[in-house]
Chain A
């Protein structure tokens, strides 16, 4: 079997202090260690953001509840949204990307290891700063998209929103530098024979996604800079009492905000593409279509932002244009869904926890996606915008799409990262508890939206069915909470548990499984010459190798 030797990692990298734990984690530039740091950060903030969610659901459990004062509730729902988007999903997906991209393309490091470390730490610091606001006299309280002029000194005079701005600026810089790093890595460090046509789909999505990040973040940074100038130096950009504009903020924010939500789903699509292949024991159906539709989604996602502003009174012509663009996105996304189904067709499906999350995703994400298409129809959006229907939509896509992918990846790659295998029995418990809780919480919110309940209300009056539906919704949230505790216990127990014997428990296809589990400081000494999209599969089945 031919194999090519890799020259080892760049020589002059700082030696990581392996002997002294703290110092090691602070000083390491190893993409695997940094990937782990990202994942741990995401887990930490997920528990915090989830705890905030539980607080919200407790407050909303019954009508006219006085557990939380309005000020408290407003800070909590804002921090929940910001945390989950910028400090849970972003680090989780970027973490998986920096951990596995080099391994999957047969490289020993990222293109710029030091930059990689910098990116993580600045993101992490951004998160800390954001939460410091609680101690500094009040967290941001104007919602995650922080509309003007409510975000101005005059209407929100606690320092919270300054921390929001600075925290997200730092996080944004981190994401952009990471994205650049990923692109260069993929472009320059692929092992011999791995043409773009043979890139694992996860890497494909990571590539497209990085371009989205680079193109989307700047408009947020611009908006945040203006906001800071407004609040600190009394500039007039969003100060409607002095010639400023409320809609400029919305345009700049959503020019970032909509691509952002796809930034949180594309890597997920990548993960699912790998998981469906391995656990159907069959190579992907329609590789080209899946890759191409990703590019289509990426391009379209920059032409739809006004669908968050349909009710702002921009006129029918503008609205119709952006409605069209938004609906079109359904088509490439559908292509993906059906190609994954096609991948299962004729396969030998193994319903591991990882695969179960992938299968659940097909249904949940279609629900969320379809409600999205509903919103992209302007008159329907006019009815349902800013109601709980939106809350339902965004959680179906975020949780049923992005979060499920992280869970699927966790169960699929945990053995590779730690050399230990998560308990499938506990995994199944976790899956059912979480999925049932999830649907209980958020499916009912569709009805609340249809029954006229606006979002972001700290309490509601005793209107027929409101209390009932909200109470059940809160119950679902607690089920999810229980599920997460099961997951945490599963992880803890597994890390205490014994190392697995089999280096390749899933009988996987791609190069990361060719390295040891867990991989050494230096990922590969040698890598098989890549002649197809499933190099590791070829290596294991010399007689039945693919030729594309």
Chain B
């Protein structure tokens, strides 16, 4: 690869500043409280160590004239064991308190959304409304919801800094995560367990909506794909084996190896936040996936431009 400074891929949906210290959920608030206490205590300890060290270096240099100092007594040992023990005890208490506030043990409640991580994309399943979508996950704000986290292949990890805690997604295991988003808005995160070649491009985007917007969105996504125009693209999509991996609701494409494309057109980004969702990015991707996202499990089909164009047009139209 040639050495290229700067940005080759256009990433126009600018991701705003991320910070674990901005809490946008109940859980994050709890965590940040203890985090702040900790940083204060840690800073205090570090300060003491630094000051003591500085003092020794200043006071007791070779060559300096003998300053008669009475030797340290065993009080020193008592203090250096006692104070830390106290701090540890305090934080142990907060620790256990916060854990149980943030992640109450799971007792067979029914999850609101089932999220399955794949190499390297996210699948979201809304069992109550039987809606399936990918990569851009819509969640209701202002109510406590339960996410069920699964992994289809290797270990992945759910992390949206402003929502607080991570949770690994471990194959053959079901993990659960309580979430209480405070305000509607767009939230960003990333898969945080190393999961192979494109771990870096497994960004995560949550669109939190208030009750009714959310329900509207659900209803809109319950509808099968409507392809009045672009018949040719629809045809090609089937004949070019795309259907072997992708699902498009209301057509015979039912596979779930790749992301669901039923309403692809309504998403803002492609490929787990890698690209803006527009017709040319879509075209480039279908033309040569390995160029865009090396290692992704979608082969290059060597399709001629016209084919690609009409497929892209078709998909882009699936609002």
Contact = CB atoms under 8 A, between A and B. Distances in A.
A68 B2 CA distance: 9
15 contacts: A150-B155, A313-B167, A313-B170, A327-B88, A334-B84, A344-B57, A348-B61, A362-B53, A380-B34, A386-B192, A451-B161, A462-B7, A462-B11, A462-B14, A463-B15
Interface string A488-502: 000000000000000
Interface stretch (B72-80, B107-115, B215-223, B302-310): B72-80
Interface in A121-152: 142-143, 147, 149-150
Contact of A454 (B38, B42, B192): B192
B146 interface: no
A contact residues, range: 35 or more
Interface in A350-390: 350-351, 359, 362-363, 366-367, 370-371, 373-374, 377-380, 382-387
Interface stretch (A57-65, A163-171, A194-202, A476-484): A57-65
A348 B8 contact: no
A64 B7 contact: yes
A451 B307 CA distance: 42
Interface string A467-488: 0000000000000000000000
A320 interface: yes
Nearest to B37: A377
Contacts of B77: 286, 289, 335, 339
B42 A370 contact: yes
A221 to B, nearest CB: 23
Interface string A272-315: 00000000110001100100000000000000000000011101
A458 interface: yes
B192 A387 contact: yes
Given A342-B76, A349-B60, A457-B200, A69 B1 contact: yes
A455 B194 CA distance: 8
A385 B166 contact: yes
Contact of B34 (A337, A339, A373, A379): A379
Interface stretch (B98-106, B236-244, B280-288, B311-319): B98-106
Contacts of A33: none
Contact of B81 (A74, A312, A324, A335): A335
Given A68-B1, A240-B172, A345-B72, A454 B20 contact: no
B165 A71 contact: no
Given A337-B49, A342-B76, A379 B197 contact: no
Contacts of B195: 150
Contacts of B34: 377, 379-380
A64 B166 contact: no
Contact of A246 (B60, B85, B173): B173
A457 B199 contact: yes
A463 B17 contact: yes
Contact of B153 (A155, A285, A324): A155
Contacts of A324: 92
Interface in B134-163: 153-155, 157, 159, 161
B166 to A, nearest CB: 5
B95 A147 contact: no
Nearest to B103: A316
A105 interface: no
Interface string A310-331: 0111011001100110011011
A451 B17 contact: yes
B60 to A, nearest CB: 5
A387 B19 CA distance: 12
Contact of A379 (B61, B85, B98): B98
A383 B20 CA distance: 7
Interface of A: 62-71, 74, 142-143, 147, 149-150, 155-156, 240-241, 245-247, 280-281, 285-286, 289, 311-313, 315-316, 319-320, 323-324, 327-328, 330-331, 334-335, 337-339, 341-342, 344-351, 359, 362-363, 366-367, 370-371, 373-374, 377-380, 382-387, 450-465
A45 to B, nearest CB: 23
Nearest to B293: A70
A462 B18 CA distance: 12
B100 to A, nearest CB: 6
A18 B111 CA distance: 74
Contacts of B35: 374, 379-380, 383
Contacts of B96: 316, 320
Given A344-B53, A378-B98, A457-B199, 15 more contacts: A66-B3, A143-B194, A156-B196, A313-B167, A315-B105, A316-B100, A320-B99, A323-B92, A328-B88, A335-B77, A338-B80, A342-B72, A344-B56, A379-B31, A382-B165
B184 interface: no
Interface string B224-253: 000000000000000000000000000000
Contacts of A461: 11, 15, 203, 273
A279 B262 CA distance: 72
In order of increasing CB-CB distance, the 4 nearest A-B pairs are A382-B165, A452-B18, A457-B200, A344-B56
A378 B95 contact: yes
Contact of A281 (B16, B62, B92, B172): B62
